[in-house]
Amino acid sequence: MTHVDIVIIGGGVTGAGCLLEALSRGLRCVLLEKGDFSSGTTSASSRLIHGGIRYLEHLHFGLVAESLKERFWIWQHFPHLLRPIAIHIPVYGWGKRSPLVAGLGVKLHDLLAGKAKIEKSSIYLGKKARNVVREISHDGLSGLFVFHDYQILMPERIALESIDAAVSMGGRAENYTRVEKISQTDGGYLVEARNSHTGENALFSAAAVINAAGAWIDEVRKMAGFRGKLLRPTKGIHLEAEKLTGRALFVEAETDRRLFFILPFLNHTLVGTTDTDHPGSPDDVRPLPGDVDYLISNVNRIFGGVKLGPSRIFSAYAGLRPLINVPGKSESAVPRRHLVVCEGPGGRFVSITGGKLTTYRKMAEDTVKKAQAVLGNPGGKREGPPFLPCGITDPREREEFIRHLTGEHGIGEETASALYTVYGTRADVLLAFAGGDARLKSPLSPETAEIPAQILYAYEKESAKCLEDVLLRRMLIGKTPKKGLGEEGKIKEVLTRYMGKSPGEADGLFSSFRDSAAAKFMIKI
């Protein structure tokens, strides 16, 4: 049995943030994740680090201001993963939103961002709007409103980097370790977990539990004997399609007047999302034909013709928003704020509900502070930031770093840029790991210019247990339409040449990856 101050359940971005926050406050902590780190909702978002302009419609000014502040923090710490994105809102006569509301929205968004503003918003009315966006329907277009946020290429890496930092401070994090039983003791909780890879059981005694299980929060609470529902999970799906436009659009769906995104992502287009109640098991969430049809028909309404159809869609994925349970509100009107709930004797069972990717740091801080308080403030007050920046915000310094990577490690500029995008300044560590073996540093795929060394690194240094973990959540290639499936030969070569697998074993590992990618992404192979 292992004794800790806190067991954290859930290894998405929220749990990972909590682990780092707790470690930086001097607490002894273990994080347990039943699948791979970030394999839940964290890997199924719209990949925006955003203020949430649409919440202004519901007058949630505080929430937007907080998100914009957190957006700035994420940019300061993970600039390598972010890309500024100009988002265009076309307003049509047939829509619910008026030009006045949209105009006020983008200006208020600027105001709330304050000095963390990315760029000033713009407003185009009448003919000017038609001249700016030629590719969409002009039928009834009365205005175009442009504001700025960030796109994040790999949200999963925020969780991984946080876990890595926490582990280097003495924390522990186990993936593929499902919490199966939670019992109360005199001084806290006993948590029993099972590792699905080794088949081993583990027992932890903790003074407190942090339940960061996302859409599974109520399942985990039930295990600990708590009743009722803190959550109202809603499902959102995305389509990954051929490039429809180079512009990011935030558009109103004609069918129900909801807003959804059409976003350029790498060299393709990401369309989403939907927002529907999901009363079923959180383990069973996938895009249904009705969700796909909803997005297709509303995209085509905006382009004024059949621009998107099944033949242009590569794949689709779904996730569950762990929203706070507010009875009587429509799905999209449920507030996205977070709430920390302390239950059980002394309030030692702490659940973190609601929130979003963008606010994960604040969610983690609020949760750990509450847990620390109910434990009578063990550890200490944190001194300084819990996390050192692992990217470079200054463009000139960034260019210099990329030049350094090419010179020092003998790689091309495209590969250096790709590795900087994924690992930030830790690209140096990855390349040192690759050593002098040129084969490990030659591009794996023309799509992202990443290298075979990353596969080994993911297995050896980043807790990956299978190819799905490596390719989908630790490498940029998992964000391309083919998800690495087009590089079968090269990937198998890494497995046989460097990991001692036989050709038969490599075949088996690759076909498991093919099956899991197909299931998760409804991918066409």
Ligand X SMILES: Cc1cc2nc3c(=O)[nH]c(=O)nc-3n(C[C@H](O)[C@H](O)[C@H](O)COP(=O)(O)OP(=O)(O)OC[C@H]3O[C@@H](n4cnc5c(N)ncnc54)[C@H](O)[C@@H]3O)c2cc1C
Q: CB-wise, 268 or 409, nearer to ligand X?
A: 268
Q: Which of 21, 28, 29, 35 binds ligand X (CB under 6 A)?
A: 35
Q: Is 40 in the site for ligand X (CB under 6 A)?
A: yes
Q: CB-wise, 222 or 312, nearer to ligand X?
A: 222
Name the 3-class secondary structure at 445.
coil
DSSP 476-491: GGGGSTTTTGGGHHHH
Q: CB-wise, 33 or 450, nearer to ligand X?
A: 33
- The mark string for 339-368 relative to ligand X (x by CB under 6 A, - otherwise) is ----------------xxxx----------
Of 42-50, 111-119, 129-137, 343-351: span binding ligand X (CB under 6 A): 42-50
φ, ψ (nearest 5 deg) of residue 131: -70, -30
Q: CB-wise, 44 or 491, nearer to ligand X?
A: 44
- List the end-to-end C-alpha distance of the chain, in Å, as a whole number: 46
Q: CB-wise, 118 or 416, nearer to ligand X?
A: 118
| Cα–Cα dist 421/401, whole Å | 12
| Tokens found for residue 76 | 């300061």
The residue among 320, 432, 240 whose CA lies nearest residue 44 is: 320
Q: How far is the CB of 273 from ligand X (least distance, A)?
A: 4
Q: How far is CA 361 from CA 69, 137, 206, 335, 441, in A?
A: 11, 40, 23, 18, 34
Q: CB-wise, 105 or 322, nearer to ligand X?
A: 322
Q: Which of 19, 102, 108, 179 binds ligand X (CB under 6 A)?
A: 179
Of 75-83, 214-222, 403-411, 498-506: span binding ligand X (CB under 6 A): 214-222
| Cα–Cα dist 167/164, whole Å | 5
| Cα–Cα dist 219/81, whole Å | 32
| Cα–Cα dist 450/454, whole Å | 8
Q: Which of 48, 210, 418, 523 binds ligand X (CB under 6 A)?
A: 48
Q: CB-wise, 85 or 419, nearer to ligand X?
A: 85
| Cα–Cα dist 81/180, whole Å | 35
Site for ligand X in 229-248 (CB under 6 A): 236
Q: Is 319 in the site for ligand X (CB under 6 A)?
A: yes
Q: How far is the CB of 352 from ligand X (least distance, A)?
A: 7
Q: CB-wise, 11 or 443, nearer to ligand X?
A: 11
Q: Which of 6, 28, 29, 41 binds ligand X (CB under 6 A)?
A: 41
Q: Is 46 in the site for ligand X (CB under 6 A)?
A: yes
Site for ligand X in 15-34 (CB under 6 A): 15, 32-34
Of 100-108, 207-215, 339-347, 463-471: span binding ligand X (CB under 6 A): 207-215
| Cα–Cα dist 187/185, whole Å | 5
Q: How far is the CB of 496 from ligand X (least distance, A)?
A: 31
CB 156 within 8 A of CB 423: no
Site for ligand X in 264-283 (CB under 6 A): 273
Number of residues that bind ligand X (CB under 6 A): 39
Let me know if 160 is exposed, middle or buried by CB neighbors in 10 A (0-12, 13-18, 19+).
buried
413-423 and 395-409 helices, crossing angle to 10°: 120
| Strands annotated E in 82-224 | 82-92, 122-125, 141-152, 172-174, 177-185, 188-195, 201-211
Q: Which of 24, 39, 269, 367 binds ligand X (CB under 6 A)?
A: 39
Residues forming the site for ligand X (CB under 6 A): 9-15, 32-35, 39-42, 44-48, 50, 178-179, 212-216, 220, 236, 273, 319-322, 355-358
